[in-house]
Amino acid sequence: MATKIALLQSNPIVGDINGNAVMIQKLANLAYESGAGFAVTTELAISGYPPRDLLLQDDFISRCHQVASDLESPIPILVGTPVPPIQDRSLPGNGVVRAGDSIREVTRKQLLPTYDVFDEARYFEADERPGIARTIAGVDVGVTICEDAWQHCGATPNDYDSDPIAQIAEWGRQGVLLDATVNLSASPYHADKSGVRIEVARSAASSLNHPFLLANQVGGNDDLLFDGRSIIAWPDGTAVVAPAWKEGVLVADLSDPSKCIWKGEGDLVHLSPNQEFNEGDNDLLDAVITGLSDYCRKSGIKKIVLGLSGGIDSALAACVASKAVGPDNVTGISMPSRHSSQHSIDDAKATAETLGINFLMYPIAKLHETADSELSNILENGNPVAGENLQARLRGLIVMAHANANGAMAIATGNKSELGQGYCTLYGDMAGGYAPLGDLYKMEVYALAREFNERIGAMAVNESTLTKPPSAELAPDQKDEDSLPPYPILDEILRLHIEDGLDATQLVEHGHELNVVNDVLTRLSRNEHKRWQMPPAPRVSKRAFGQGWRQPLAAKHDWRD
Amino acid sequence: MATKIALLQSNPIVGDINGNAVMIQKLANLAYESGAGFAVTTELAISGYPPRDLLLQDDFISRCHQVASDLESPIPILVGTPVPPIQDRSLPGNGVVRAGDSIREVTRKQLLPTYDVFDEARYFEADERPGIARTIAGVDVGVTICEDAWQHCGATPNDYDSDPIAQIAEWGRQGVLLDATVNLSASPYHADKSGVRIEVARSAASSLNHPFLLANQVGGNDDLLFDGRSIIAWPDGTAVVAPAWKEGVLVADLSDPSKCIWKGEGDLVHLSPNQEFNEGDNDLLDAVITGLSDYCRKSGIKKIVLGLSGGIDSALAACVASKAVGPDNVTGISMPSRHSSQHSIDDAKATAETLGINFLMYPIAKLHETADSELSNILENGNPVAGENLQARLRGLIVMAHANANGAMAIATGNKSELGQGYCTLYGDMAGGYAPLGDLYKMEVYALAREFNERIGAMAVNESTLTKPPSAELAPDQKDEDSLPPYPILDEILRLHIEDGLDATQLVEHGHELNVVNDVLTRLSRNEHKRWQMPPAPRVSKRAFGQGWRQPLAAKHDWRD
């Protein structure tokens, strides 16, 4: 079989049906020019993933379906699109059509993930059989959609009743011989997930006894990231992986892995059988930059403003913002108070200068004094946290004033460790349209700051910022460690609990002190109301606050008592 | 059959397994004293509904299951509880056990709603058959769980593959004769839903040819409300309905509807066959009060603070708060600016005095001047909305300072019409832990204010507040109608679009002007980012912003272009 198959790794805008169609056509033309016989898009490429409640609108479904079916292209394309319900009072399908062929529907997704960030049972009816695209450019291919391939090697959190890969393998044993099986994916990123995804592809290729090709979406949509990394896997475990975070076309020569080509920025990774995949040192940094950058581009946001405290979080957030929208379009505001050290101002300024972003200074002393005196009745006999939060909120006020005055988006600079402990101020440092570091633990913030410096070859985050003890500077001589465990310990407890589900007993078995564990878990549950109102943050961990985290608020969380 | 069956209409706290067990026992004792032979709880009564991601914790499931199975009671109880997975790598069930009988599981829910505010496919494995509790106090009853009964009369948005009521009816035709069928429910409230729920019960009773008894949860959990109104329906359509918004026990005498009794506050409603149910004039007001009251009680919040602008929204919010936590525990703050009218201060004060809540006045003039002068560089050449928002945010700052200083919860006073149009300020009037009016259209706010006045027999919302043109008072002589359509029109467009799914064309067919419709729908989609960060609001409409509203942010919403 000499037909080459192209995987169109695209970065759709959710809801931009026509724009997404144009991008698919552009990539398909590139595929055609590169000698591909037909092309395969990602899952729901025409609507973008996840379309969320747009899928509840009948005319959205029919419009997607029509545009996908009507796509013009020099080569056939298997297009991922929502498809209308099969009967009245049933849900639409998550399907695949053949462009230019409005009659034939190729298949609908069988396994509908409904866990973590996925809500597919909310929107789609499951199908009962995988599909086949017969004699498409002279070959017969099995067609599956994302999750359909994940049950086979046990990579889903819970078992489904059926296994579409096993079904296609069974057809093969019964004489339905296919040349390859393709998979249209929108498989969200989290750190260290690529290895599992490649394992899914290898396991499928091995059982099917023919190549397995997975086209994955790339880019950020709200709080979800897609890393691309489309895959071709052969039955012996040989695999070719497309670059992360870039649009492009992977043209597969099924007869010779070394002849696969990538049309786009970056290079293919060739894996020999059993060779493990390495995501690379800068992957997490690229992920976070992609999240903010795509959020701005897809929302029409051109400018970013943030508070620059001189601390590590706002310094890294400024770095990320400068890459996301360009340094000229970023404004950092230093807003020192009477509790701020001189190094806070100096360090903030150093970051701004190194990055080449705009730098403003609005000391809050006068506003703070006025507020203190105007609100003295409120503040003097109350919980001192009110006075601390007042400073954070005055800063939020200034940043939002700048944002509103200039049509910029404010970003919140908090990290996951702070958010997990409620060590942050609602409407203060939590104010903003996006929280680029919201799923990074504090120690990851340090690591990414060092990586960023290395990448640009300059100390955008200077040594002082990297080494001074973290402080909110909302009270004299305040240090984070006065209220929280040291960050390496806090981060580990949070990670083990949130991502791996360890409870207090298991955390103690892991070597953590019981009173520390209890304090951390209590603060985590008591501050759920803050996270309910946090801006979207790009999900980079196995479990992030946001769409995949649905905790009750007015609840007894310590039900083990 | 002389056995009386008791429906335990309880108001659980999510996660408070032991507390919920105590309440069930207390109600079961009351049922026993009233001559009931056995009792039935609501759905997931032991965990409270919805437990959300607590269900992802294995030990939460097993703890619920154990406490439910071990419940001690003078009469048998069918208890709604999460039950462990049947096998490895499958999900738990939404089940029913017989208290005191740790061996026998009665049934698991078959139909798992996964739409609107429901996410049950995320947490549960569906069962394949309804259950029977045989010879429980001498009778045989069919056992179903909430949604199981809704497919039968077509009351679900989409069809399921099976119909548990039809299955039990079929058993009857095959000789499995039951005395009654019970249904454990956690059926959330929205206005005008009771009629449908009673129709579900009547339809089931008619097809089953025996009485159908539905025990429904009562009270507020975060943004979900449950109205109670447990039902007994007979095959001829006779029905008895328990009071709304109250805990209690409905003791059913199946042989004589007139002998059914209610142990608790309020009275039963007796419906003759075909008689329609009327929710009563004050139902929506009770709903909103229950939402805030239960949120505070279940979160341990004793005090509420809010900005009192002199406008209708904050006036009604103060009324609701005074009922939720008592007037002594509510503080209203008047924060006039240079754009505020004298009537704003007078009307705010009048509301506070009539309600007997605490009243404070913090004019923002001085803070506003300081901010204007300190931020003059930002404000003078920018979008004027920055200056308007500044005032709202200074007020948010004051309210939050009071909240933090005094351990109170701030409430946001915005309504659904404003939130739907982004006519509100993030971190300003949107600041707060709960938004009691967040699912009320503006005209409903007026109606409830008049109802509240009637209920207390005093003008808590005075005539001036009820009749003056709505104004945000953030600029000289500003009126809401300068930026928005008249509220009766705005409300109708929003309601028809959000709740009934009408698109622009259909709205025009409904008699609305195209340019008005387009403006409203554009503002609705452009301001999604604000609603992402809004506090929880009690859902009282068919579709509310919040858990049942999942829109993409960085998306092209006008995909019809």
Domain with B444, as residue range(s), is 285-483
Residue B103 — very low, low, confident or very high, per pLDDT cuts 50/70/90? low
Please choose, from the candidates B234, B289, B297, B214, the residue with its C-alpha nearest in 3D space to the C-alpha of residue B40. B214
Helix (H, G, I), strand (E, B) or coil at A369: helix
Residue B483 pLDDT greater than 90, yes or no: no
Predicted TM-score (pTM) above 0.95? yes
Residue B244 pLDDT greater than 60, yes or no: yes
**Dist CA B420 CA A25 (whole Å):** 36
Q: What is the Cα gyration radius of chain B?
A: 25
A101 touches chain B (CB under 8 A): no
Q: Is residue B538 part of a domain?
A: no
Final residue in a domain of this structure, among B280, B314, B340:
B280
B163 touches chain A (CB under 8 A): no
The per-residue pLDDT for B169 is 96
Q: How many domains does chain A have?
A: 2
**Dist CA B401 CA B331 (whole Å):** 13
Q: Which of residues 448-477 of B touch A (CB under 8 A)?
A: none
Residue A62 pLDDT greater than 60, yes or no: yes
DSSP state of A143: E
Residue B178 pLDDT greater than 70, yes or no: yes
Please choose, from the candidates B463, B385, B397, B457, the residue with its C-alpha nearest in 3D space to the C-alpha of residue B429. B397
Give helix B487-498 / helix B442-456 axis angle, nearest 10°.
110
Give helix A164-173 / helix A194-208 axis angle, nearest 10°.
20
> For residue A318, what are the β-bridge partners?
none
DSSP state of A131: E
Q: What is the largest CA-CA distance in chain B?
A: 85
The predicted-structure confidence for B460-480, as pLDDT tens digits, reads as follows 999 999 999 888 888 888 888
The per-residue pLDDT for B473 is 83
The per-residue pLDDT for A408 is 98
Same domain assignment for residues B172 and B268? yes
Same domain assignment for residues A268 and A229? yes
Helix (H, G, I), strand (E, B) or coil at B135: strand
The per-residue pLDDT for A479 is 87
Final residue in a domain of this structure, among B425, B453, B483:
B483
Final residue in a domain of this structure, among B425, B448, B483:
B483
Q: Which of residues 400-439 of B touch A (CB under 8 A)?
A: 400-407, 426-427, 431, 433
The predicted-structure confidence for B387-422, as pLDDT tens digits, reads as follows 999 999 999 999 999 999 999 999 999 999 999 999
Name the average pLDDT for chain A.
Answer: 95
Place of tokens 């703890």: B63
A374 touches chain B (CB under 8 A): yes
Residue to substitute from B116, B298, B404, B531, interface A, most A β-carbons within 10 A: B404
User: What CATH number has the domain bearing residue A64?
Assistant: 3.60.110.10
> For residue B133, what are the β-bridge partners?
B141
Q: Is residue B112 part of a domain?
A: yes
A375 within 8 A of A403, measured Cβ to Cβ: no
Q: Residue A298: which of B122, B385, B555 has the nearest Cβ?
A: B555
Mean pLDDT for A242-263 is 97
Mean pLDDT for B265-292 is 96
Task: Give the distance from CA B464 to its chain's centroid.
Answer: 31
Mean pLDDT for A261-271 is 98
> Which CA distances in Å does A527 have to A435, A461, B11, B390?
17, 30, 24, 27
A505 within 8 A of A511, measured Cβ to Cβ: no
The predicted-structure confidence for A376-403, as pLDDT tens digits, reads as follows 999 998 999 999 999 999 999 999 999 9
Place of tokens 């009324």: B319
Asked, as a colleague might, if the bond just before A50 is cis with ω within 30 of 0, I would say: yes
Q: Residue B295: which of A121, A389, A554 has the nearest Cβ?
A: A554
Q: Which long-range contacts (CB under 8 A, 24 or more apart) does B125-134 make?
A: B125/B85, B125/B86, B125/B90, B125/B91, B125/B92, B125/B93, B127/B93, B127/B95, B128/B162, B129/B164, B129/B167, B130/B164, B130/B167, B130/B168, B131/B96, B131/B106, B131/B107, B132/B106, B132/B107, B132/B176, B132/B178, B133/B78, B133/B98, B133/B106
Place of tokens 């919860």: B409
Mean pLDDT for B29-38 is 96
Half-sphere exposure of A450 (CA within 13 A, CB side): 9
Q: Which of residues 230-269 of B touch A (CB under 8 A)?
A: none
Same domain assignment for residues A264 and A349? no
A426 within 8 A of B441, measured Cβ to Cβ: no
**Dist CA A262 CA A252 (whole Å):** 9
Residue A435 pLDDT greater than 70, yes or no: yes
Same domain assignment for residues A314 and A443? yes
Q: From the CB of residue A165, how many other CB atoms can be counted at a distance below 10 Å?
A: 26
Residue A1 pLDDT greater than 60, yes or no: no
Q: Which chain A residues are Cβ-neighbours of B549 within 8 angstroms? A: 53
Q: Is residue B454 part of a domain?
A: yes
Residue A102 pLDDT greater than 80, yes or no: no
Q: Is residue B516 part of a domain?
A: no
Same domain assignment for residues A273 and A290? no
Lowest-confidence pick of A92-96, B129-133, B199-203: B129-133
> For residue A145, what are the β-bridge partners?
A184
Q: Which chain A residues are Cβ-neighbours of B401 within 8 angstroms? A: 371, 375, 378-379, 386-387, 389-390, 393
| ipTM entry | 0.96
Mean pLDDT for A153-159 is 94
Please choose, from the candidates A229, A196, A225, A227, the residue with its C-alpha nearest in 3D space to the C-alpha of residue A215. A229
Residue type, A353: E
The per-residue pLDDT for B1 is 53
> For residue A36, what are the β-bridge partners?
A4
**What percentage of chain A carries pLDDT values higher than 70?**
99
Which residues of B are tagged catalytic? 43, 109, 146
The per-residue pLDDT for B129 is 83
Same domain assignment for residues B111 and B238? yes
Q: Is residue A407 part of a domain?
A: yes
**Dist CA A297 CA A291 (whole Å):** 10
Tell me the two tokens of residue A136.
Answer: 């498409």
Asked, as a colleague might, if the bond just before B50 is cis with ω within 30 of 0, I would say: yes
User: What CATH number has the domain bearing residue B337?
Assistant: 3.40.50.620
Contacts of A381 (CB under 8 A, 6+ apart): B405
Q: Residue A555: which of B14, B122, B426 has the nearest Cβ?
A: B14
How many residues are given for chain A?
561
Q: At CA A531, angle to CA A527 and CA A535, rounded to 5?
A: 155
Same domain assignment for residues B243 and B320? no
A148 within 8 A of A111, measured Cβ to Cβ: yes
**Dist CA B129 CA A295 (whole Å):** 46
Could you please report the per-residue DSSP string of A420-465?
A: HHT-S-TTTTT-SSB-TTTTS-HHHHHHHHHHHHHHHTS-SS-HHH
Beta strands in B91-236 (DSSP E): 93-98, 105-108, 131-136, 139-145, 180-185, 212-216, 218-221, 224-227, 231-233
Cα dihedral sign, B542-B546-B550-B553 = positive
How many helices (H) does chain B have, and how many strands (E)?
A: 19, 20
B551 touches chain A (CB under 8 A): yes
Q: Is residue B527 part of a domain?
A: no
Q: Catalytic pick from A4, A64, A120, A146? A: A146
A370 with B375: Cβ contact below 8 A: no
How many residues are given for chain B?
561
> For residue A344, what are the β-bridge partners?
none
Please choose, from the candidates A104, A404, A75, A83, the residue with its C-alpha nearest in 3D space to the C-alpha of residue B375. A404
Same domain assignment for residues B319 and B275? no
**What percentage of chain B carries pLDDT values higher than 90?**
90
Mean pLDDT for B77-106 is 91
Mean pLDDT for B321-328 is 98
DSSP state of B463: H
Residue A181 belongs to what H/E stretch? strand A180-185
**Dist CA B380 CA A40 (whole Å):** 53
Same domain assignment for residues B300 and B371? yes
A474 within 8 A of A429, measured Cβ to Cβ: no
Same domain assignment for residues B270 and B299? no
Would residue A109 show up in a list of annotated catalytic residues for this protein? Answer: yes
- Runs of H (alpha helix) within A56-142: 58-70, 120-123
B214 within 8 A of B183, measured Cβ to Cβ: yes
Q: Residue A557: which of B15, B56, B63 has the nearest Cβ?
A: B15
A181 within 8 A of A142, measured Cβ to Cβ: yes
Please choose, from the candidates B350, B307, B330, the residue with its C-alpha nearest in 3D space to the C-alpha of residue B474. B307
Same domain assignment for residues B229 and B352? no
Q: Is residue A291 part of a domain?
A: yes
**Dist CA B503 CA B509 (whole Å):** 10
Same domain assignment for residues A349 and A201? no
Q: Is residue A474 part of a domain?
A: yes
A198 exposed, middle or buried (CB, 10 Å; 0-12, 13-18, 19+)? buried
Q: Which of residues 318-357 of B touch A (CB under 8 A)?
A: none
Mean pLDDT for B359-377 is 96
